[in-house]
Structure 1
Amino acid sequence: MAKCLLLVASLVAASCAADFRCPDKKYAQYEDERQCDKYYECEDGVATEKLCPDGLVFDVTIRKLNKCDLPFTIDCGDRTELQPARGNEKCPRRNGYFAHPDESVCNIYYNCIDGDPIESHCSSGLIFDEYNGVCAWPKAEDKATCGKKAILQDGFSCPKEEQLDANGRAADHPKYAHPEDCQKFYVCLNGETPREQGCSLGEVYNEEKQLCDDPENVPGCEDWYKDRPEVANLKKGGNNEQFVSGSPKRKN
């Protein structure tokens, strides 16, 4: 089946290239009339269809042999079509500069190279302008959303102070114990965006170790499951269910 699909794709590409006629037999590259990241390489009068790396587009005016560059440096005009994106959360396309996925975080952006994000920060007071690919002064409409601190429904927001890991370095995604529920904890994505998480049934969060642990190893949470007979049965049976809320409050 895979061979059949590959054959079909090859035939389609060959058909598209066959539709393009090279003006002469010297080596040259030509843009596609509809797709901005597609171009044709002509050699000895034969056209070969090519694609720029995902996230880059083709500009025939570039004097270098590699004529693929970032979209904000090139005017595609009516060539609005692009290849399907093959990115991830931080890199919507595999190459380019992209804003932070949390719209309230406006001063952090990612330089993506073949799908690997490199985090960068704008200078104080500036925000990232994804359309132009630069840090710029915020406009009035940007100020309405940028920099607003994300707060969960229970009132938790990520502390400003950095949390250090076991090696003394700032944690990328710091974790914090829930003040009332031993089974729950918070994760601050990139230190900015809070998410509530929970340990498996029978475990509680150990803030000192930064992981889920047995209740007897966490002061104040030793008796967390004492009125939960299903937890005792769970340990005997070795099953590992996900967390269930409704337990008593954490002891301070």
Structure 2
Amino acid sequence: MKTAVAALLFLLTGCSGQFKCPERTGFYPDPVQCDLYYVCTKGESEEKLCPDGLVFDAKDSRHERCDIPANVDCDERTELQEPQSTPGCPRANGYYRHSDPRACDKFFNCVSGVPHELPCPPGLIYDDTASTCAWFDDSNRKDCKNAKRDSLDDGFSCPDEDILGPGGRKLPHPTFAHPDDCARFYICRNGVMPQKGLCTKGLVYNEETFACDEPQNVPGCENYYDKGEKEKKTKKA
């Protein structure tokens, strides 16, 4: 199918390189350059270029549309115009990774050569292959493996390694015991975004089952609530 399309485009351009319009009016891609296209009206062609950083979407000849490369299948149209780069923008338009290699959770939206810094949602990194934010495991960007993770005000941050639960299955939202409080614990949303958790009154966190449990089932926390009551009575006295 791709070979047939390439052959058709070659016939349209002809041996001289001059684009030959088909009978119908519309917008047609150049056979070799993805950001170059032609406007055909009554058999006459007008050459046009997408804004630098965008490419021509050839899915429908009735519509004139330029889009970011991640949204367009250029197929064999691999050539592009000379880049109009500026600091932070490899090309004048589009989405690009941040100029700071440590800022994996940020990216630039370049508009006419001006970079606009944007953040990814918590826990995500910018994947420049897809021009969007993604979870590290779903991203093709492996240089961010050691990127700085979010941490809470008490210093807790989610570990790098996967946490396995009962049956050896990876826990999607692993939890961890608080070092000083039996009723408190930490949650790592999608394994990377830390949050604080608190058991319902009367229960304490059991790190063996990754869930809140009766105090008598958690060594060292059996008298957790008894201690609390004694402290209250001492303060009243």
TM-score relative to the length of structure 2: 0.51
Residue 146 (structure 1) shift: 2.7
Q: Is the 8 A contact 1:32 1:40 kept in 2?
A: yes
Q: Which of 111, 121, 124 in structure 2 is aligned with 1:123?
A: 121
Residue 145 (structure 1) shift: 4.5
Pick closer, same or farther for the CA change 1:145–1:86 going to 2, 3 Å.
farther
Pick closer, same or farther for the CA change 1:96–1:23 going to 2, 3 Å.
same
Correspondence 1:1-252 to 2 at 5 A: 19-24=18-23, 26-62=24-60, 65-139=63-137, 141-147=142-148
Q: Distance in 1 between matches of 2:16 and 2:147?
A: 46
Q: Distance in 2 between matches of 1:56 and 1:122?
A: 22
Q: Is the 8 A contact 2:27 2:62 kept in 1?
A: no
Q: Distance in 1 between matches of 2:16 and 2:97?
A: 35
Structure 1 residue ranges without an equivalent (≥5): 1-15, 149-252
SS at match of 1:72: helix
SS at match of 2:136: coil
Q: Is the 8 A contact 1:35 1:80 kept in 2?
A: yes
Residue 130 (structure 1) shift: 0.8
- The residue type paired with residue 146 of structure 1 is A
- Percent identical pairs in the alignment equals 43
Q: Distance in 2 between matches of 1:20 and 1:87?
A: 29
Q: Is the 8 A contact 1:111 1:119 kept in 2?
A: yes
SS at match of 1:19: coil
- The residue type paired with residue 126 of structure 1 is L
C-alpha root-mean-square deviation of aligned residues, in Å? 2.5
Partner of 2:200: none
Residue 18 (structure 1) shift: 6.4
Post-superposition Cα deviations, 1:80-133, rounded to whole Å, max 9, x if no partner, equal 100010021211111101110122211111111111222110111110011101
Post-superposition Cα deviations, 1:172-228, rounded to whole Å, max 9, x if no partner, equal xxxxxxxxxxxxxxxxxxxxxxxxxxxxxxxxxxxxxxxxxxxxxxxxxxxxxxxxx
TM-score relative to the length of structure 1: 0.48
Q: Distance in 1 between matches of 2:33 and 2:60?
A: 17
Pick closer, same or farther for the CA change 1:63–1:35 going to 2, 3 Å.
closer
Please identify the structure whose Cα radius of gyration is greater.
Answer: 2
- The residue type paired with residue 79 of structure 1 is R
SS at match of 2:45: strand
Q: Distance in 1 between matches of 2:77 and 2:142?
A: 30
The count of residues paired between Structure 1 and Structure 2 equals 133
Q: Is the 8 A contact 1:17 1:49 kept in 2?
A: no
Runs of 4+ off more than 2 Å: 62-66, 139-148
Residue 76 (structure 1) shift: 0.6
Q: Is the 8 A contact 1:17 1:48 kept in 2?
A: no
Residue 143 (structure 1) shift: 4.0
Partner of 1:156: none
Residue 64 (structure 1) shift: 6.8
Post-superposition Cα deviations, 1:45-98, rounded to whole Å, max 9, x if no partner, equal 111111100000001215774311111001111111000100212111111011
- The residue type paired with residue 55 of structure 1 is G
Q: Is the 8 A contact 1:103 1:145 kept in 2?
A: no
Deviates more, 1:136-145 or 1:39-48: 136-145
